[in-house]
């Protein structure tokens, strides 16, 4: 499971010209799910995202987490985080992205786990064509990935 985090001053996701999720200060989290990921993995990654110290303290140091600053999270599903461009062609392969029967429960569990930590959460819509607008603060952008389990590596 991968999460691309962007520290934002504001972010919004629209579907067909309608805003479906909007936050001010916080994290825009693009979430990708691969084969073998579980809802338990989603909980671990949610805690890591919420606790990552990437917000500035009073001294300008990155010592505060989303939890510490009382920020919000905009969570957007993004299977393209598992796009593979290593082949000789020009079209990425998305075979490492999980099918919806695996990805949806993980995505939903990630959202609920972030909410359970007391963070205000807005979301996109799984599988929809979305337009994301954001003001990256810093800019700060980080990729988090859970270590792969042995059974996933053998696929």
pLDDT of 152 above 50 = no
The pLDDT value recorded for residue 132 is 98
pLDDT at 149: 62
- The pLDDT of residue 87 is 86
Q: Which string of b and e fits 50-68 if b means at least 16 CB within 10 Å?
A: bebebbbeeeeeeebbbbe
Strands 72-77 and 120-123: parallel
Whole-structure pTM value: 0.93
CA distance 102 to 106: 7
CB of 74 within 8 A of CB of 122? yes
38 catalytic? Reply is: no
121-133 pLDDT, tens digit each? 999 999 999 999 9
- To which residue do tokens 């579980």 refer? 38
Predicted pLDDT of residue 88: 86
Question: Mean pLDDT across the stretch 131-142?
Answer: 97
Tell me how many degrees the CA angle 13-14-18 measures, rounded to the nearest 5. Answer: 140
- In the set 80, 85, 123, 141, the catalytic residue is 80
Position 154 pLDDT exceeds 90 = no
**Residue pair 73/120 in contact by the 8 Å Cβ criterion:** yes
- Give 1-36 pLDDT, tens digit per residue: 999 999 999 999 999 999 999 999 999 999 999 999
**Model confidence over 37-95: pLDDT tens digits?**
999 999 999 999 999 999 999 999 999 999 999 999 999 999 999 999 998 889 999 99
């Amino acid at each position: 499971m991968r999460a691309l985090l962007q520290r934002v001053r504001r972010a919004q996701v629209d579907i067909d010209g309608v805003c479906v999720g909007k936050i001010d200060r916080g994290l825009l989290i693009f979430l990708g799910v691969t084969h073998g990921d579980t809802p338990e993995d989603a909980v671990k990654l949610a805690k890591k995202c919420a606790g990552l110290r990437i917000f500035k303290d009073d001294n300008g140091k990155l010592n505060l987490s989303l939890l510490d600053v009382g920020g919000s999270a905009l969570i957007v599903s993004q299977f393209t985080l598992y796009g593979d461009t290593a082949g000789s062609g020009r079209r990425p392969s998305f075979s490492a992205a999980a099918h919806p029967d695996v990805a949806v429960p993980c995505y939903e569990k990630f959202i609920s786990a972030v909410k359970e930590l007391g963070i205000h959460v807005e979301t996109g819509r799984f599988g929809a064509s979305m337009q994301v607008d954001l003001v990256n603060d810093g800019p700060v952008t980080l990729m988090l990935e859970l270590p792969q389990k042995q059974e996933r590596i053998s696929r």
